[in-house]
A and B are shown apart, each in its own frame.
Chain A
Amino acid sequence: MATTGFIIASLLPWLAGTGLAYLCLPRGRTGTLALALGYGYPLGMLLVIGLLLVFEGLGLTLAALPLAAALVPFAAGFALAAYRRRHESSGPDGPVLSGTAAQTLTALLLILVLARIGLFAAELLSRPLYAWDAWMNWAPKAVVWFHEQRLVPFVPPGEWLAAAPDSGVYTLGNRAASAYPPGVPLIILWHMLAAGSAESSLAFLPWALLLLAMGAACWGYLRGLGAAPVTAAAAAFGLVSLPLLNVHVAHAGYADLWLAGYFGLAALALAGWARDRTPGLLALVLLLALGAALVKKPGLAFAAVIVLLAAARALGWSLRTWVTLLLASGLAAISLFVFRLEIPLPGGASLGFDGTFLRLPYLGSLRLSAHPLLPILGENLFFSANWHLLWPALLLAIAASCIRRRRAVVGDALLQAIIVALALLYFVFGFTQYFDQAANLLTLSRTLLYPALPAVVFCLREFDAWWKNPSASE
Chain B
Amino acid sequence: MSALRKLVALLCPGFVLTAGLAIPPAIAQGEAYRLNGADLVPLPGAAITREKGTMIVHGWTDGQAVVHRPVHLEAADYAYATIALEGLAPSRQARFAWKAREEGVTTPVKARLPWTGGGTVTIALPPSWRGTISEIGLLVAGQPGQALRVKSLTLREPSVTNWLRARRDDWFHFGPWQLVDINFLRAHGLGTAPRLVPAILAACALAAVFALIAGHGAGRQRAPLALALVIATGWLLLDAAWQRKLLLQLAVTRDTFGGVPVAERPERDIDAHLFALSQRLAPQLPVDPARRVFLLHPAKGHQYDRLKLQYHLLPRNLFNFGSSLPALGTFRTGDHVLLLGSVPNVTFDAASGVLRDEKRAVAASPVDVTEAAALYRLEAGGSAP
Interface residues of A (CB under 8 A from B): 116, 119, 122-123, 126-133, 135-136, 139-140, 143-144, 146-148, 152, 157, 160-161, 165-175, 197-201, 234, 238, 241, 243-244, 246-248, 250-251, 254, 380, 382-386, 388-389, 392-393, 396, 400, 441-446, 462-463, 466-467, 470-471
Contacts and interface: CB of A to CB of B under 8 A. Distances in A.
B186 A384 contact: yes
Contacts of A442: 183-184
A130 B270 CA distance: 9
Given A135-B311, A201-B262, A470-B224, A126 B201 contact: no
Interface string B231-255: 1101100110011001101100110
B179 A131 contact: yes
A254 B179 CA distance: 12
B234 A389 contact: yes
Contacts of A136: 302, 307, 311
A312 B125 CA distance: 59
A278 B327 CA distance: 60
B177 A250 contact: yes
Interface stretch (B58-66, B67-75, B328-336, B354-362): B328-336
**Residue among A116, A136, A157, A173 with the highest chain B CB neighbour number at 10 A:** A173
Contacts of B329: 165
A248 B182 contact: yes
B163 interface: no
19 contacts: A119-B250, A123-B250, A126-B253, A131-B182, A132-B304, A132-B307, A140-B310, A171-B320, A197-B262, A198-B314, A246-B246, A247-B185, A383-B187, A386-B185, A392-B231, A400-B227, A441-B183, A443-B183, A467-B225
B263 interface: yes
B67 to A, nearest CB: 33
A384 B311 contact: no
B327 A161 contact: yes
Interface of B: 177, 179-188, 195-198, 200-201, 204, 221-222, 224-225, 227-228, 231-232, 234-235, 238-239, 242-243, 246-247, 249-250, 253-254, 256-258, 262-263, 265-266, 269, 287, 289-290, 292, 302, 304, 306-308, 310-311, 314-315, 317-321, 326-327, 329-332, 335
Nearest to B198: A383
Contacts of B327: 161
Contacts, number: 197
B265 A128 contact: yes
B192 to A, nearest CB: 12
Contacts of A247: 181-182, 185
Given A165-B330, A446-B182, A388 B315 contact: no
Nearest to B267: A128
**Residue among B183, B263, B266 with the highest chain A CB neighbour number at 10 A:** B183
Given A131-B182, A241-B242, 8 more contacts: A123-B246, A161-B319, A201-B262, A241-B235, A241-B239, A251-B182, A382-B198, A384-B185
A136 B222 CA distance: 51
A167 B290 contact: yes
